[in-house]
Amino acid sequence: MLISIVLYLLLGYIVWSFLEKNVIGIRNKVKGPLSLPIIGNLHQFASPHFTFDQMANQYGSVFRVWMGDFYALIINDIDLYKGIYVKNNKLFINRPLSPGFQRISGDFKNIIHSPNPVWGENKDLVKHNFTNKALVGPTKPIFEKHMKILVDKMDEAYDQSKLFDTKYYIERCHMNMVLDFFTSSHVGYEHDSDEWVAKFNDSLIGVVEDARYGDILSSVGFLSPLYKRKLAGKRPSNQNIIDYLDVELKKHKETYNPELKRDIMDALITSFDESKHDRINYIIHDFFLAGVESQVCCCEWFFIYLSTRPEIQNKAYEELKSVFGDSKVVDYSMKNKTPYVNSIIKELLRIKTPLPLSIPRIAEEDVTINGIFIPAHTLIIPNMYHIHRNEKYWSKPTEFDPERFMVENETSLPYIPYGLGERGCIGLNIANSCLYHVIATVLLNYSFSSKTLLSLEEQSDLVIHPKNRSINVILKKR
Ligand code: HEM
């Protein structure tokens, strides 16, 4: 008898869950793929950016999916995206409070995941360090140092007729620019730093895993105890980086001089009240997490796409040479004089958008935007990958063509790799500057090719790296 009651209740729950996700209620006015009872569309989240790109072709500007118990809207249209992220920014300023994010952010002490008011306080105290004007002075010697090492390493490979291991050196170069700028520290370029780099990468991979398990298991109410059990007593996956930053913070405080701002860590020690110093490491961890991975990803695609396009490399080289003459050192203040190189970077960020589905936000209250009703607590997932590849906006969108940005009305293109609005990427200027230095320095000093055709296949993750990340190229001196 008891078993029958339980089975009836379970059946009732399954039927109700199916109807709620597909048939009844105002949410189902927005079309979307069939959702399974209980899990919704979680089974389609294995390669979400591919799946959502295809679904967008079928459903148009917006469609709904269910992540377990959570209703989510996938935004495929630039006008709707701007309606939400720019015109109604205040209603979508927060991100979902997922347990995965909670673990890696020291209980929401950082910028990426924290809700207001912590987010607002942190951002206000940090953002003045990231304007182009504030960046020029402190970053110049850092770029000079690491670009010199990068060229030395390319020279070494060239002189010894060896292939240039882009993964190894480009990854270290981005890590070091970021580490130096934020904490005045860096890892070596030799193999004795491999262990540190591996730990760092493991932490980053772990963060993605934590977020994924956290989101998936905890999105189905009755599975969330499993998540808590799985993680009970385990260190957060990013603890290695946090421990490293703890040591750096201690050293910084011991040698702190309010008259001298050595790096961003010093700037945060100055700006944050002593009682909030426990936020500093989580904020700097954000910058590693958000910065290094997406910049490395962009450069990986740079070597892949350009290794078979000598004509693009040559055109960029001629442009750089016309600006920098015989100097082999890039000067960032001349960036506006190299529109073609700038277009290469934009085209890379368009065609292989590093964060293809951005970082989700959540609706604070019910609102109707461009005719779409968005109930409070809806998850908003911008389909940037699709917007960047939609034929409605771009001709031959799957072709790599920097010329598409060499037009007068370039700013009207739906180009949004860094997001938009008040909660868009805070690191946009530093990212643009790092990418410009690395890409222009390589193009000014060397041309490159590959023995084999490098695959365009993507790893499906929060950041879209190439599936094969060992990219070794043959260098030819300019
Ligand atoms: C190619 C490089 C980069 C790309 C494509 C990128 C992209 C993005 C995107 C799409 C977002 C989400 C914006 C939104 O919710 O609308 C974001 C947020 C963020 N990015 Fe970046 N980013 C890059 C580099 C960096 C760098 C170098 C830093 C470090 C200084 C950084 C720090 C952040 C932070 C802290 C956030 C969270 C902002 C907030 O929640 O207020 N990013 N980024």
Q: Choose which residue among 116, 293, 423, 425 to substitute to test ligand 1 binding: the one with the highest number of ligand atoms within 8 A of its C-beta.
A: 425
Residue with CA closest to ligand 1 atom 7:
418
Residues 6+ apart with CB under 8 A from 64: 27, 28, 30, 31, 32, 71, 72, 73, 74
3-state secondary structure of 477: strand
What is the distance between the alpha carbons of residues 247 and 56, in angstroms, rounded to a whole number? 47
In DSSP terms, 67 is beta-bridged to 40, 70
Q: Is the CB of 294 under 6 A from ligand 1?
A: yes
Q: Which two tokens stand for residue 97?
A: 């409070």
Q: Is the CB of 419 under 6 A from ligand 1?
A: yes
Residue 425 annotated as lining a ligand binding site: yes
Number of domains making up the chain:
1
What is the distance between the alpha carbons of residues 149 and 172, in angstroms, rounded to a whole number? 11
Instruction: Show the CA angle centred on residue 214, arms to residues 75 and 179, nearest 5°.
Output: 85
pTM of the model: 0.95
What is the distance between the alpha carbons of residues 116 and 118, in angstroms, rounded to a whole number? 5
CB 67 within 8 A of CB 41: yes
Ligand 1 atom with the shortest distance to the CA of 114 = 40
CATH number at residue 294: 1.10.630.10
Residue with CA closest to ligand 1 atom 6:
418
For residues 228, 230, 232 and 236, what is the CA-based torsion angle, rounded to 10 degrees?
-100
Instruction: Give per-residue pLDDT as tens, 107-142.
Output: 999 999 999 999 999 999 999 999 998 898 889 999
In DSSP terms, 474 is beta-bridged to 449
Ligand 1 centre to CA of 151 (Å) is 28
What stretches in the chain show pLDDT beneath 70? 210-217
Q: Is the CB of 292 under 6 A from ligand 1?
A: no
Q: Choose which residue among 350, 418, 432 to substitute to test ligand 1 binding: the one with the highest number of ligand atoms within 8 A of its C-beta.
A: 418
Ligand 1 centre to CA of 358 (Å) is 9
- Determine the pLDDT at residue 374: 96
Ligand 1 atom with the shortest distance to the CA of 384 = 10
- Determine the pLDDT at residue 95: 93
What is the distance between the alpha carbons of residues 287 and 292, in angstroms, rounded to a whole number? 8
- Determine the pLDDT at residue 140: 92
Domain range for 420 is 2-477
DSSP-derived letter for residue 466 is B
CA atoms within 13 A on the CB side of 302: 28
CA distances from residue 288 to 3, 157, 180, 192, 284 in whole angstroms, order as listed: 53, 28, 11, 21, 7
What is the distance between the alpha carbons of residues 97 and 103, in angstroms, rounded to a whole number? 10
